[in-house]
Amino acid sequence: MESAETIAARAARLQEGLERAFGVRAKSLDTALRRTGRRLPRRLRAEARRVVDAQKFGGQPKLMRQVDAAALDRAEGRVLDYLGGIDRADRRKGRLLALAGVLAFNLLFVVTAFIVWMWWTGRV
């Protein structure tokens, strides 16, 4: 049977993983999940919500019987495995390269449009 301390430890590990992977700082796992938003896949958000829901039982012995420890283990493992595979530096490089690509395309488009305009008006 799970206790409030073990569930709090699970929540702390998940929260730390979210902070490491996405840079999300929050006081609780629930807030961290909300701030993470769609960067975490839907099924993994649901898995992490299991830990948040178990945390809401607050250590009440009769309510804690409803918590499935094996399901919490699997949920925590899946989420932490996914978060462990995220490289913040690689994501940052990807965003910068995407921005550079958009800027290069726009510049190329404007220069081409200018040359076509000059040709059309007979200036070239």
Q: What is the pTM of this model?
A: 0.80
In the predicted model, is pLDDT for residue 2 greater than 90? no
- Confidence band (pLDDT; 50, 70, 90) for 3? confident
pLDDT of residue 8: 93
Give the pLDDT confidence of 47-64 residue by residue, as tens digits.
999 999 999 988 788 888
Give the pLDDT confidence of 9-33 residue by residue, as tens digits.
999 999 999 999 999 999 999 999 9
The C-alpha angle with vertex 29 and arms to 73 and 85, in degrees rounded to 5, equals 60
Domain ranges of the chain: 4-86, 88-124
Q: Which residues of 68-83 are buried (b: 16+ CB within 10 A; e: fewer)?
A: eeeebeebbeebbebb
